[in-house]
Structure 1
Amino acid sequence: MIEPLASAQMRVRDHLLAPDTLVRALASGRRKGQRPRWTRVELRYVDLKAGRRLQITRYDETQAHVSNHGPDDAPAAVAELLAEPFGNWHVETTAETVQLRVTKGGEAAVGITAGVAAVAERAHDRAKARMLPEDDPVLVALGISDAKGVVKPTRRAKYRQVEEFLRELGASVDDALGAGRLAPTAEDPLRVVDLGCGNAYLTFAAHAWLSRVRGLPVRLVGVDVKEQSRAHNTEVARRLGVEDQVTFVKAGIDDVVLEETPQVVLALHACDTATDDALARAVEWSADLVLAAPCCHKDVSRQLRSRPAPAPYSLLTRDGILRERFADTLTDALRAALLRTRGYRVDVVEFVGSEHTPRNTLIRAAATGAVASGADEELAALTATWQVEPKLAELLG
């Protein structure tokens, strides 16, 4: 239902300030033409020695900032968050779930689902919340954890990469659910494709989190050009008992044919222009959500090597190592700009520390249906200045 934003926010405020019934709340997304100070905010109540406190975790592009608020200052902290131009609020209580989405006209689209939510976890000193615990069957099946359910010392970096990717996926999916862009049901599950899935670490992890942790009906397809990968991953799915929900096909990113159009497209560490192939397919499918972690940006680097840099930027491309690093940045900036011209809201973030993998940039795009103001002009100016022809522009026509 549509109602004035102020009244809808008062309902959210009342839930946020109810220490006995609030289970969890999440603020995410942004309103048209505005950007909140935080990428997302999570709220829950915790029990401390001094009593029950409202714990607020604010996320920026690189880290989480946690604060605890008592009865005296919690109302002000909540009011400050409600004043931020978040596009979506998702509030779970012991009695109902409230989803608030701010419309383009500045009103509130509110959905309320009755029923008992998950039991609130009030412990303050709990271990850091894991997207998938170390003993999860998926991690054991993939060889990240041993038979005792402990992550192997040599696989710590891989486990951290999986965890941080799932955090980004979780935040993006929660945002899309809250905005009403995704609404999976048992009859129409969430359709996900992982392009260039390789050994499918993130494919299986994404399915495990979305289906078992988040409780969403999911149908996921992994795509890889190698028959060996398809056979191996299919056997892992069989051992995990998810072969009816997770399937694999042998095909290239640019020519794969899927039975159903995917709503979520993943492409993690696809080399060079394979990332462009993945982004182009996502646009072709009108995917609601895209998460791509690029790898080895060779195409634009080659173009920069053969063309003079515009004044006064020749120092950026004179030395090979600087040219390669600049090409990485320029390539992903152009990809983001191209997606904005096709009706996507795009963020480029670091999803895991560089000590775990040097390929740690994530392009996160959500369909809005509206071209960002000035997107075409910005793209034209950037390509003209550097005299480059992005592969993605060619693929998108």
Structure 2
Amino acid sequence: MSEPLLRVLTRMRGLILDDEMLVRAVGSGRQRGTQPRWRRVELRYVDLKSGRHLQVTAYDEAQAHTSNHPVGDRARTALDDLLDQPFGNWHVETTTETHQLRVTKKGEAVVHSRARDAEQQVDRDHDRDKGRLLAEDDPVFRVLGLSDHEGRMKPSRQGKYRQVEEFLRILDASIGDALAKGHLRTPTPEEPLQIVDLGCGNAYLTFVTERYLTHVRGLPVHLTGIDQREQSRDHNQRLASELGVDATFISSSIGDARPGVRPDVVLALHACDTASDDALARAVEWETPLVLAAPCCHHDIAAQFRKQPTPAPYAMLTRHGILRERFADTLTDALRASLLRLEGYRVDVMQFVGSQHTPRNTLLRGVRTGGPASGGAARREYDELVATWGVQPRLGELLEQR
């Protein structure tokens, strides 16, 4: 049930100003037709030599900005400035409860609150690792084999940890924005958010996604991981039992997968070559509200380039193998994004993680808005691009079959 936004923000303000009870608070997303100064803000209390302070970490598109405000008038002023920002979501976590506030299209507030099973301990150490969405000593990393028994990230796994963090930042912003705009329903314990990971492999990001959304964001979720290998299914089911995670793992090809639920979020992270197309086609078939896909190994279009002459005047783009491969990657993902737009998705193409960590660092984010691209211009643009290069994108074939 919706409530006046000001009334709910006043209630959240009281919880955030309680420096004994607050664990953390997060503002993210944006209200309809607005743009907050910050992409995301995180608040918690820290104990400094000069006393307790409200620490605010504000994220823009490039970096994090941290400031500390003494408890009292300065902390209240800093908080009020942030509450005045038109964030679409507030997550407030205390030692005994979690509260999830979403602003509706009408500018009202919907709040989901739940009590904690056990009282949460508060970390007010100013020197803890800043900016991490999941600390490296989180139990999920030990079970996944990324950290040692003392909770320290293994040197050989630092790159994977960086990928995890970057993915969680994109996931957090994407879910927050989709909730704020009503593209994604607000989950409840009775009807959790259904997340389906297609081609999940050993499910590193699957389990990390569950851990972050449930323990940090306080969102009820259920995971379904799909991978063709039975070994992966059995391995992941054992890890789920060890972590106490509500998850289902299925051994199946992506094209034949029957998850038994209608997904709210589809993940397809580093599915090889046309497996990414299979995943995107299934997401479209299911009319999934939010899709996050990080394609890998773009062999299909590159192979088609080798079978026919390059159209003039673009011969230099495919004459050298390394340039042909890079251009095939770009063209493949551009065509995928175009097809998703034609199917009623708003699509962003972004960098998943720095190229120093992996050369396959592009991520496609699709949010289903329900309306196809306006007019016939988008379709003509796609048809002309395909005709010019004489290629047949696998995703286009799959969508036509559907």
Q: Under a length normalisation based on structure 1, what TM-score does the superposition of the two structures give?
A: 0.80
Query: Secondary structure of 2:268's partner?
Result: strand
1:212 and 1:12, CA in 2 relative to 1: closer, same or farther beyond 3 A? closer
Asked if the contact 2:31–2:107 (Cα under 8 Å) also holds between the matched residues in 1, the reply is: no
* Change in 2 beyond 3 A, CA 1:127/1:222: same
Q: Any gaps of 5 or more consecutive residues in structure 1?
A: none
User: How far apart are residue 283 of structure 1 and its match?
Assistant: 0.8
| SS of 2:383 mapped into structure 1 | helix
Pairing 1:119-158 to 2, within 5 Å after superposition: 126-158=128-160
Match of 2:382 in 1: 379
How far does residue 42 in structure 1 lie from its aligned partner after superposition?
2.1
Aligned residues of 1:294 and 1:362 also touching (Cα < 8 A): yes
Q: Which amino acid aligns with 1:272?
A: D
Partners of 2:324 and 2:28 lie apart in 1 by 39
The Cα of 1:223 is off from its aligned counterpart by 1.0
Secondary structure (helix, strand or coil) at the match of 2:226 reads strand
Distance 2:191 2:84 in 1: 38
Shift of 1:375: 3.4
Q: Is the 8 A contact 2:301 2:332 kept in 1?
A: yes
Matched, 1:199 2:195: no
Instruction: Name the CA distance, whole Å, in 2 between partners of 1:276 and 1:39.
Output: 34
Residue 286 (1) aligns with residue 287 (2): yes
Matches of 2:147 and 2:155 in 1, distance apart?
Answer: 9
Displacement of 1:252 in angstroms is: 0.2
Deviates more, 1:159-168 or 1:305-314: 305-314
User: Is the Cα–Cα contact under 8 Å of residues 2 and 111 in structure 2 kept in the other structure?
Assistant: no
For 1:38 and 1:299, how far apart are their aligned partners in 2?
A: 42
Q: Which moved more, 1:37-46 or 1:306-315?
A: 37-46
Q: Please give the secondary structure, in 2, of the residue aligned with 1:151.
A: coil
Structure 1 Cα separation of the partners of residues 30 and 368 of structure 2 = 12
Quote the residue 1:340 is aligned against. 341
The count of residues paired between Structure 1 and Structure 2 equals 380
Describe the shift of the 1:119–1:235 C-alpha distance in structure 2 as closer, same or farther (beyond 3 A): closer
- Equivalent-residue separation in structure 2 for 1:323 and 1:343 (angstroms): 31
**In structure 2, distance between residues paired with 1:344 and 1:187:** 28
* Residues 59 and 376 of structure 1: CA distance in aligned 2, closer, same or farther (over 3 Å): farther
Q: Which moved more, 1:151-160 or 1:210-219?
A: 210-219
Equivalent pair of 2:38/2:58 in contact (CA under 8 Å): no
Question: What is the 5 A alignment of 1:1-397?
Answer: 20=17, 24-28=25-29, 40-42=39-41, 44=43, 55=56, 57-60=58-61, 63-66=62-65, 68=67, 82=86, 88-90=88-90, 92=92, 98-101=101-104, 103=105, 107-112=106-111, 126-180=128-182, 181-242=184-245, 245-373=246-374, 374-397=377-400
Indicate the SS of the match to 1:292.
strand
Partners of 2:93 and 2:242 lie apart in 1 by 37
Q: Supply the AA of the counterpart residue of 1:248.
A: F
Deviation at 1:11, TM superposition (A): 8.6
Contact 1:93 1:116 in 2 (8 A): no
> Would you say the 8 A contact 2:195–2:264 is kept in 1?
yes
**How much identity, in percent, do the aligned residues show?**
48
- The AA in structure 2 aligned to 1:338 is L
123 and 182 in structure 1: CA distance in 2 versus 1, 3 angstrom threshold? farther
Counterpart-to-counterpart distance in 2, 1:46 and 1:372 = 46
Q: Is the 8 A contact 1:16 1:25 kept in 2?
A: no
Post-superposition offset of 1:10: 11
Deviation at 1:75, TM superposition (A): 10
Moved more, 136-145 or 10-19: 10-19
Could you tell me which runs of 5 or more consecutive residues in structure 2 were left unpaired when the two chains were aligned: none
Q: How many Å apart are 1:129 and its aligned residue?
A: 3.4
Q: Give the aligned CA root-mean-square deviation in angstroms.
A: 3.7
Counterpart residue type for residue 318 of structure 1: R
TM-score when normalising by structure 2: 0.79
| Residues 192 and 220, structure 1, Cα contact 8 Å, conserved in 2 | yes
- Provide, for residues 103-139 of structure 1, a one-character-per-residue CA deviation record: whole Å limited to 9, x for no partner: 4xxx535335578999998876542132322222221
Check 1:363–1:277 CA distance in 2 against 1; reply closer, same or farther (3 A cut). same
Residue 188 of structure 1: how far off its partner (Å) = 1.1
**Kept after mapping to 2: 8 A contact 1:294/1:361:** yes
Deviations 1:265-297 (A, max 9, x none): 111111100000000001111111111111010
8 A contact 2:8–2:109 mirrored in 1: no
CA contact (8 A) 1:54 1:74 kept: no
